[in-house]
Amino acid sequence: MDKTYDPHAIETAIYQRWEKQGYFAPQGDGASYCIMIPPPNVTGSLHMGHGFQETIMDALIRYHRMQGRKTLWQVGTDHAGIATQMVVERQLLGQGTNRKELGREKFVEKVWEWKEESGSNITRQLRRMGASMDWTRERFTMDPGLSKAVEEVFIRLYDDGLIYRGNRLVNWDCKLHTAISDLEVVSEEENGSFWYFRYPLLNGATTADGKPYITIATTRPETLLGDSAVAVHPDDDRFKHLIGQQVELPLCNRSIPIIADTYVDPAFGTGCVKITPAHDFNDYEVGQRHKLPMINILTKDGVINENGPIAYQGMDRFDCRKQLVRDMESAGLLEKVEDHKLKVPRGDRTGVVIEPYLTQQWYVAVAELAGPAIAAVENGSIEFVPKNWENTYFSWMRDLQDWCISRQLWWGHRIPAWYDLDGKIYVAPTEEAARKKYQLAADVVLTQDEDVLDTWFSSALWTFSTLGWPEDTEELRTFHPTDVLVTGFDIIFFWVARMIMMTLRFTGEVPFKKVYIHGLVRDGEGQKMSKSKGNILDPIDLIDGIDLESLVSKRTDSMMQPQLASKIEKATRKQFPDGIAAHGTDALRYTYYSLASTGRDINFDMGRMEGYRNFCNKIWNAARYVFMNTEELAPTQPTDKSHYSSADLWIQSRFQLALQKVNENIAVFRFDLVSQAVYDFFWNEYCDWYLELSKPILWDANANEEQKNATRYTLLSVLEQSLRLAHPLMPFLTEEIWQKAAPLLGITGDTIMLQPYPQTDDSIISPAVDAEIEWVKSVILAIRNIRGELNVSPAKTIPVLLSKGSAKDQTHLQANRQYLVKLAKLESITWFDDSALAPPASMQLAGEMEIRVPLAGLIDVKAEQARLGKEIEKLQGEITRVNTQLSNERFVANAPPAVVAKERERLAANEASLLQLNEQLVKLGSL
């Protein structure tokens, strides 16, 4: 084995072997365990969030697979209607054409081409992460099986009256020419203006203070063209008398009524509100209440249409705004303009301002679906982790609006609805089926609806459509409901809630029993990663490494704002002067786990990743040591337990404790604690102590062969178990080493992946052995402390004198003398029954036992006095604290007896230690 671990040399080959051998497929007859991947966009690429998510899922999958469960990780991708269509449209633009020129059929063909071409990108990256998903079952939301499920669901919901067509206001994206759902709109505060317009009163009416006009305030002047009324609050004394009067709508040559509605807040603005039912959600409601005309003034492009005055027709909505304000001003009707902050709704894909727009769309009536979906979480059939997300879920579900599912796109599932010439609707999978279902005469002309379904409609069916529904398949029976959904909070509404509703409706089962909600991956400073901030990290770059120039150009390529680019370049050069080193997949994964505590975002820390890369290297080198001692002569399992040294028994016991921690924490998704348990055990116990403790035995010419064999066996078998313990977290490294370790133990099996996970066995846990090795450690630490504090060269062997210990100390000493000599580098160990006879020395305590390193020629008395002084001071502080505590009667009376007893013991022990140290100090002083 090489001296340094080189992940690059092994990872890809190992993965290819796993996949080729079919290890990712469900196996055996165990209880099923299934996770559905949240399908990434088929044309997308892997980012840090994906990396994190897949890493969590893979650990769960590998863990349960090794537990003997029949495990399926269902993989697949999403067609992502809007995102994908936009990418292809942009490409076409580059080729000097566009989708309209191509026509629908050709365009969709192009998208399929692009999907085939780029679709493998993200799946290749998933493989690099080591994700053990069953690629033979890869699905795509638009493949035939899933499309069939989509049709089936649509038709059944329609037939049940839960899907309907309606003419109402939607969020309209003027760039995409499609409706989008509320969830696809992001509102952010922007600087705008508040324009105060005067609407002249007609028929000689005046306001309470005698003005011949009323003033309204608006943030969207252009909507004036579609006004149907002006509203005031019914109890507003300033305007009460005007209710029912007419005002002139400026520039439009028509008059509109003044109406009363409690929607108006008299304290805001002027207390008068222009009402534009066709272009504002609130106004729409008011319009409905008062039966006002809906005047749509915009085309699908956001241009003023024929309903506007001629002067504005054909004008873009924002140009119109400017022109209209100018015109109002010159008409003397602009009272004032104020700066105003307002939330502007924008499409999350296009970034253009969304218009409330009146169109025909398809809707899912969600009320009936929501009930069971709420109940499933209430009664615990579905559990959120962390639990507090359930509140978010409830609050959203209980105030659910009907779901607009039609999109005016070409890429997606075409809506299975046909219209005859009268516009009558027929819903069926095909035209032929429609004729049959509705018994239509052959001469009835049918045309299919042009729209496609919202992408989330098909993803809502993901858990059961991927398993073959609507057929009653073996897979469905075996793997549904799935065990856990691992996803981010940002799509609880988009996806999780809708999956729950649809799955309950169509399978009668919950889609998953648990929902593990993880946090967002941010950069080391807690900033959201984004292109414009230039702080994006690519998981693949962290695995393979990347040189500075490539990183800079990657981060600054295709920047919209060049001044940002130079800033990003500078920051990048400062943060990564040498680029990013290769860390390997296992180190990246481990970093994710270590940061994956629940209920908070993850600030990705490069420093930590380096630490875990080092951990990988540590494992690698520990394995080298083990193989050095076992390769030539494979150890055999000891026939008698007595052959084991106390260190052998200790490390076996410690392994069990680590295993317990791992099991407990995986069950509650605490991967940070899982990773820490493995790290602590392997580095701080196995490497730091056990490997060192094995040396005195293996290198002792006097030790018998049975003892040596037992130690070599323990070295190897604990290593092998540790590899299995860690495999779900670091699959590649563990596989590589296991391949070498397993044969030495006579283990047959082609891969660690399919080996059983280590089994807990309480009989291996031994508090007595644990205490014994703790004793050894404490003595060694005490001696090392003396060495360190007093600067004794580590190369120098030193004598040690022990005294005042208990019988137990003596027993421990006898059994473990060799460990002390080797690990503390001792020349001799002498037991003094009478410490008064001890020569001048530096002293440390291990319990009551005094440990002395004679001073002669080694150390200066002053330094030793200072060291003792420090110890004494610390002890005194502690004694004072405990004394105060114990002299508090109420503490003694109220605290549990065990706690009081503990404090008393502590006081006694500290006082004894203090006495010993003081004596020592006096002794030194007399020199």
Partner RNA sequence: AGGCGCGUAGCUCAGUUGGUUAGAGCGCUUCCUUGACAUGGAAGAGGUCACCAGUUCGAAUCUGGUCGUGCCUACCA
676 scored as a contact of RNA (CB under 7 A): yes
For RNA, the closer CB: 239 or 411: 239
Q: Is 576 in the site for RNA (CB under 7 A)?
A: no
Shortest CB 804 distance to RNA, Å: 18
User: 367 vs 628, which CB is nearer to RNA?
Assistant: 628
Q: Is 274 in the site for RNA (CB under 7 A)?
A: yes
Q: How many residues contact RNA, by CB under 7 A?
A: 94
d(CA 661, CA 654): 11
Instruction: Work out which of 335, 706, 789, 911 binds RNA, going by CB under 7 A.
Output: 789
What is the token pair recorded at 395?
């609050």
CB of 602 to RNA, least distance (A): 6
Q: CB-wise, 91 or 888, nearer to RNA?
A: 888
Q: Rule CB under 7 A: choose which of 167, 206, 793, 830 binds RNA.
A: 793
688 binds RNA (CB under 7 A): yes
CB of 634 to RNA, least distance (A): 18
| Residue 798 is a binding residue for RNA (CB under 7 A) | no
Do 734 and 755 contact (CB within 8 A), yes or no?
A: no
766-785: contacts with RNA (CB under 7 A): 781, 784-785
**804 is a contact residue toward RNA (CB under 7 A):** no
Q: Is 906 in the site for RNA (CB under 7 A)?
A: yes
What residues between 403 and 462 interact with RNA by CB under 7 A? none
Per CB under 7 A, contacts with RNA among 316-355 are 342-343
> Binding to RNA (CB under 7 A): which residues in 598-657?
599-603, 605, 607-608, 610-611, 613-614, 616-618, 621-622, 624-625, 628
- Cβ pair 279, 354 in contact under 8 A: no
Smallest gap from residue 94 Cβ to RNA (A): 32
Residue from 17, 326, 902, 904 in contact with RNA (CB under 7 A): 902
Taking contact as CB under 7 A, which single stretch among the options 79-87, 479-487, 679-687, 849-857 is the one that binds RNA?
A: 679-687
Distances (CA, A) of 770 to 315, 647, 650, 664, 791: 83, 9, 6, 21, 31
* CA 600 centroid distance within chain: 9
Closest CA to 224 of 290, 153, 279, 284: 279
Which residue number, 217 or 813, has a Cβ lying nearer to RNA?
Answer: 217
* Interface of this chain with RNA, residues 526 to 545, rule: CB under 7 A: 526, 528
The answer to whether 218 contacts RNA (rule: CB under 7 A) is yes
Question: Is 361 in contact with 182 (CB distance < 8 Å)?
Answer: no
- Which value, in Å, is the radius of gyration of the alpha carbons in the chain? 37
Residue 767 has a CB neighbour count (10 Å cut-off) of: 9
| Phi, psi angles (nearest 5°) of residue 166 | -145, 150
The answer to whether 794 contacts RNA (rule: CB under 7 A) is yes
Residues contacting 299, CB < 8 A, separation 6+: 305
Counting every residue written for the chain, the total comes to 927
CB of 440 to RNA, least distance (A): 41
* Nearest residue (CB) to RNA, 263 versus 832: 263
CB 402 within 8 Å of CB 364: yes
Of 721-760, which residues contact RNA (CB under 7 A)?
none
Alpha-carbon dihedral 665, 668, 669, 670, rounded to 10 degrees: -50
266 near RNA, rule: CB under 7 A: yes
Report the run of H or E that residue 164 belongs to, with start and end.
strand 163-173
The least CB distance from residue 451 to RNA, in Å, is 23
Q: Interface mask (CB under 7 A) for RNA, residues 867-896, using x and -?
A: -----------x--xx-----x-xx--xxx
The stretch among 49-57, 65-73, 276-284, 375-383 that binds RNA (CB under 7 A) is 276-284
Q: Is 897 in the site for RNA (CB under 7 A)?
A: no
Strand, coil or helix: what is 634? coil
Site for RNA contains 597 (CB under 7 A):
yes
Nearer to RNA, 62 or 787 (CB): 787
Least gap, CB of 405 to RNA (angstroms): 17
Which among 500, 410, 499, 401 is positioned nearest to 449, based on CA atoms? 410
Subset of 498-527 contacting RNA (CB under 7 A): 522, 524-526
Q: How far apart are CA 205 and CA 656, in angstroms?
A: 90
* Binds RNA (CB under 7 A): choice among 281, 438, 831, 832: 281
- The four Cα atoms 162, 168, 174, 177 give a dihedral, to 10 degrees, of 40
Among 91, 98, 187, 760, binds RNA (CB under 7 A): 187
Nearest distance, CB of residue 832 and RNA, angstroms: 24
b (16+ CB within 10 A) / e for 212-232 = ebbbbbbbbbbbbbbbbbbbb
Could you tell me the smallest distance in angstroms from the CB atom of residue 453 to RNA? 21
User: What is the identity of the amino acid at 535?
Assistant: N
* Residue 696-725 contact track with RNA, rule CB under 7 A, x = bound: ---x--------------------------
The neighbouring-strand residues paired with 303 are: 316
Q: Which neighbouring-strand residues pair with 247?
A: 201, 256
268 contributes a contact to RNA by CB under 7 A? yes
Phi, psi of 630 (to 5 degrees): -130, -15
DSSP of 849-884, one letter per residue? EEEEEE-TTT--HHHHHHHHHHHHHHHHHHHHHHHH
Residue 364 C-alpha from the chain's centroid: 30
- What distance in Å separates the CA atoms of residue 615 and residue 683, rounded to the nearest whole number? 8
**Residue from 49, 119, 271, 468 in contact with RNA (CB under 7 A):** 271
Residue 295 binds to RNA (criterion: CB under 7 A):
no
Residue from 182, 301, 432, 827 in contact with RNA (CB under 7 A):
182
Is the CB of 271 or the CB of 412 nearer to RNA? 271
Instruction: Specify the residue, 492 or 801, whose C-beta has the smaller distance to RNA.
Output: 492
Q: Is 189 one of the binding residues for RNA (CB under 7 A)?
A: yes
When asked if residue 183 is in the footprint of RNA (CB under 7 A), the reply is: yes
Nearest residue to 46 via CA among 490, 482, 485, 529:
529
β-sheet bridge partners, residue 659: none
Q: Which of 220, 238, 290, 817 binds RNA (CB under 7 A)?
A: 220
Tell me the CB-side half-sphere exposure of residue 174, using CA atoms within 13 A: 17
CB of 153 to RNA, least distance (A): 25
Q: Which CA distances in Å does 404 have to 109, 157, 195, 197, 407?
A: 26, 14, 33, 35, 8
Binding to RNA (CB under 7 A): which residues in 805-844? none
For the record, the structure tokens of 738 come out as: 């296991």
Crossing angle of the two packed helices 705-726 and 671-679, in degrees rounded to 10: 160
Compare residues 143 and 878 and give the one whose CB is closer to RNA: 878
Residues between 55 and 84 that touch RNA (CB under 7 A): none
Exactly one of 42, 214, 273, 820 binds RNA (CB under 7 A); that residue is 273
In whole angstroms, give the CA distance from residue 216 to residue 334. 10
Least gap, CB of 51 to RNA (angstroms): 16
Query: Would you count residue 382 as binding RNA (CB under 7 A)?
Result: no
Beta bridge partners of 521: 602
Contact (Cβ atoms closer than 8 angstroms) between residue 517 and residue 602: no
Q: Closer to RNA at the Cβ: 30 or 234?
A: 234
Contact range with RNA by CB under 7 A, out of 122-130, 504-512, 681-689, 760-768: 681-689
| Closer residue to RNA, CB minimum distance, 99 or 274 | 274
5 binds RNA (CB under 7 A): yes
What's the rounded Cα separation, in Å, for the pair 106 and 114? 12
Phi–psi pair at 149, nearest 5 degrees: -60, -40
C-alpha neighbours within 13 Å on the C-beta side of residue 604: 25
Half-sphere exposure of 93 (CA within 13 A, CB side): 6
Residue 238 near residue 208 (C-beta atoms within 8 A): yes
Q: Please identify, using beta-carbon distances, which residue of 449 and 680 lies nearer to RNA.
A: 680
User: Among residues 27 and 676, whose Cβ is nearest to RNA?
Assistant: 676
